[in-house]
Structure 1
Amino acid sequence: MPRQRNVVPTYGRHIATQQATCTVRLPNGQRKVLYLGRYNSAASKAEYSRIVSIVATNGGVYPTKENNLTVNEGLVLFGQFIDGYYVDANGKPTRTVENLKLALGYLRRLFGPSLLIEFGPPQIKTIRSVLINERRVRTQINKFIGQIRQFFRWCVEEEHIPPSILEALRAVRPLMPGRGGAKEGTPRQPADPAAVDRAIPLMPPAVRAIVQLLRLTGARPSEILCMRPCDLDRSKEVWIFSLAHHKGSWQLKTRTIHFGPDAQAVLSPWLLGTPADQYVFSPKRSEEIRSRERSDARVTPLWPSHSARNDRKRRSTRRRPPSDRYTAANLATAVRRACRRADVEVFTPYQLRYLRAVELRERYGLEVVRAVLGHCAASMSDHYSKAADGILASRAASEVG
């Protein structure tokens, strides 16, 4: 005698997204996986109970209709798309994937079990209200709402929902300054030159060199951190660093950074002994240099038992070996610690880019700022160097006013 079919869906977990799931049988005999929300949450269990009652009422079958894709199901499909679409040259997901998933997390938590075709302006305003109550800044809220619209635009492209839903969402206006109850963010300002000068001597040698290069070139931290000797053209008086992969690579833009005499003096010691295809600034290499310097400065004799003990300590205490390159987070942490040791206002590595933009605009003008920082539009260069307006206006007033 065949085993009796179990018509009650089982509460399960989707490992990749950590969502609760249950598989139901449709009227046409096929099966469908429903996503219920965060696994083991009260909301997912309540949705599971609702589905079980529906299945029990309909004789073990889950009734369906056209365009019955839920928000959770759409987000799973969209997640598979962005994981393969927003990738870097090495095939790894970019920061865009992380940012999209952060914004879409609100959509999943608030409206995960709802049908996509039921989503409209009231729902997106609800998400916006939650973001306002969390005290997020206005520009970030507008960005999150735009990323949620991006998800629905993809759903229209894949014919999961009719275009009228996207048009309705576009009718929701963005938050304007001073309206809507959202707080305003603090614009990023250039780093204080005095604070930079006082903090630099207290930084580790590699971090000190990176910060000095950022200060001299106005480059992005990620650009200096990925530098290799093979990417440098040192055949001319001014060295040229051509980036193979950078922020604008996906738009087929080129990016070059020029190193003058001061930058060359900072960079030259770090190029000695560095293989052409390895990163110039490497935590692994910096650790080796630091250990060698400590060993050379040792006063007491180094006996074999001491070496054996040190080897055991290194193997037992270090959980992660040093990586081949610094990350932006590593650099920011080291800079922050140096600022606190110097008792100065903390600045971020990216603020050095703003500082260089202001100095270049004061001396050479906006077009030079655009060329050095690698901007395509002068409006972006104006944004970075806006702090120079007051100095330039005062200079003009003193000369011709």
Structure 2
Amino acid sequence: MADKLDSMFGDVTVDDFGPVKLKAFRDELVANGMPTKWKHKRKKPKKPLARTYINRIINSVIGMFTIAVAGELVDVSKVQQLKTLDTLRNGQTTAPETEPVRPVPIEHVRMTAPFLSPIIKAMLRIQVATGMRPGEVCIMRPCDIDRSGDNWIYVPSKHKTGWRGKAKAVPIIDDARDAITDFLQRHPESYCFSPKEAMEWRRAVGAAKRTAPLSCGNRKGTNVKKDPN
């Protein structure tokens, strides 16, 4: 979207960019959306942008001016002026609405378990039992889990609201405790879950199911880059 903003108002000074021009940019997003990938050279079809996404783009533009105010490059009145533009509201625009994101039924999650590697399966069990974010499960280390009491407590080394100075502690009980136990034998400061080990399991399963003779296709080590980035 930055290219579209630049093409429309790249030669406009900060003093001349106000709510009217910001609304014109928003109207362009509503009317024309963004081009989709198209392999032919004819005119690219347009993909309509959702109302909530357009509002986020407009807030990002205002955010750029807010950063400029912090750097004493723009007067704060410019940000206040841009914020007078009302957001697009449901039912008051032709921009489409997005479907609400709903949780996956737990029955569907359980159906995937037989096909997962032991590492991914353990991570799934822990996340379902505790409600942790995926990133918090990925960075679990033995040293982050206090096992001195009857109840184990996991304190993530970093989490979403850590930058606000808030602490977080997650009880590791029931199925989560059973799932993590086998991975606590590692070095205290190493991660419990290794992507390398998960990929080794996946490749081993694929090799066991191989039907093509070894003289055909790829074999172990034949398609590995000597100097990967």
Q: What's the TM-score bracket when you normalise by the shorter of the two chains?
A: 0.7 to 0.9
Return the letter of the residue paired with 1:259: I
Residue segments in structure 1 that go unaligned for 5+ positions in a row: 1-102, 298-305, 307-311, 323-401
Q: Distance in 1 between the 2:52 and 2:206 partners?
A: 49
For residue 185 of structure 1, give the secondary structure of its aligned residue in structure 2.
coil
For residue 240 of structure 1, give the secondary structure of its aligned residue in structure 2.
strand
Return the letter of the residue paired with 1:141: I
The aligned residue for residue 278 of structure 1 is 190
Question: Could you report, residue by residue, the CA deviation over 1:102-158 in whole angstroms, capped at 9, with x for unpaired residues?
Answer: x65543343233322221112211222233232222222212211211111222333
Q: Which has the higher contact order (CA 8 A, sep 6+)?
A: 2
User: 2:23 aligned with 1:125, yes or no?
Assistant: yes
Question: Could you report, residue by residue, the CA deviation over 1:279-318 in whole angstroms, capped at 9, with x for unpaired residues?
Answer: 11111133455678999x8xxxxxxxx9xxxxx9555413
Which runs of structure 2 are paired with 1:363-382 in the superposition (5 Å)? Answer: none
* Pairwise CA distance, 1:171: 0.8
User: 2:27 aligned with 1:114, yes or no?
Assistant: no
Which runs of structure 2 are paired with 1:171-186 in the superposition (5 Å)? Answer: 171-186=84-99
Q: 1:203 aligns with which of 95, 116, 120?
A: 116
Report if the CA contact (8 A) 1:104-1:148 is conserved.
no
Q: Distance in 1 between the 2:118 and 2:7 partners?
A: 46
Q: 1:318 aligns with which of 212, 221, 224?
A: 224
For residue 66 of structure 2, give the secondary structure of its aligned residue in structure 1.
helix
The alignment-based identity, stated in percent, is 30
The aligned residue for residue 42 of structure 2 is none
Judging changes above 3 Å, is the alpha-carbon distance between structure 1 residues 187 and 177 closer, same or farther for their aligned structure 2 residues?
same
Report if the CA contact (8 A) 1:104-1:147 is conserved.
no
The aligned residue for residue 239 of structure 1 is 152
Judging changes above 3 Å, is the alpha-carbon distance between structure 1 residues 321 and 253 closer, same or farther for their aligned structure 2 residues?
farther
Which runs of structure 2 are paired with 1:155-194 in the superposition (5 Å)? Answer: 155-194=68-107
User: 2:162 aligned with 1:249, yes or no?
Assistant: yes
Q: Distance in 2 between the 1:179 and 1:320 partners?
A: 57
Report if the CA contact (8 A) 1:238-1:261 is conserved.
no
Report if the CA contact (8 A) 1:214-1:224 is conserved.
yes
* Pairwise CA distance, 1:240: 0.8
Return the letter of the residue paired with 1:209: A
Return the letter of the residue paired with 1:281: F
Report if the CA contact (8 A) 2:18-2:81 is conserved.
yes
Q: Distance in 1 between the 2:158 and 2:128 partners?
A: 22
Report if the CA contact (8 A) 1:216-1:263 is conserved.
yes
Report if the CA contact (8 A) 2:140-2:191 is conserved.
yes
Return the letter of the residue paired with 1:200: A
Report if the CA contact (8 A) 1:137-1:183 is conserved.
yes
How many residue pairs get aligned? The number is: 206
Return the letter of the residue paired with 1:169: L
Judging changes above 3 Å, is the alpha-carbon distance between structure 1 residues 156 and 125 closer, same or farther for their aligned structure 2 residues?
same
RMSD over aligned CA atoms reads: 3.0
Moved more, 253-262 or 123-132: 123-132
Which runs of structure 2 are paired with 1:10-49 in the superposition (5 Å)? Answer: none
Q: Whose Rg is larger?
A: 1
Return the letter of the residue paired with 1:181: T
TM-score w.r.t. the length of structure 1 is 0.46
For residue 263 of structure 1, give the secondary structure of its aligned residue in structure 2.
helix
User: 2:142 aligned with 1:229, yes or no?
Assistant: yes
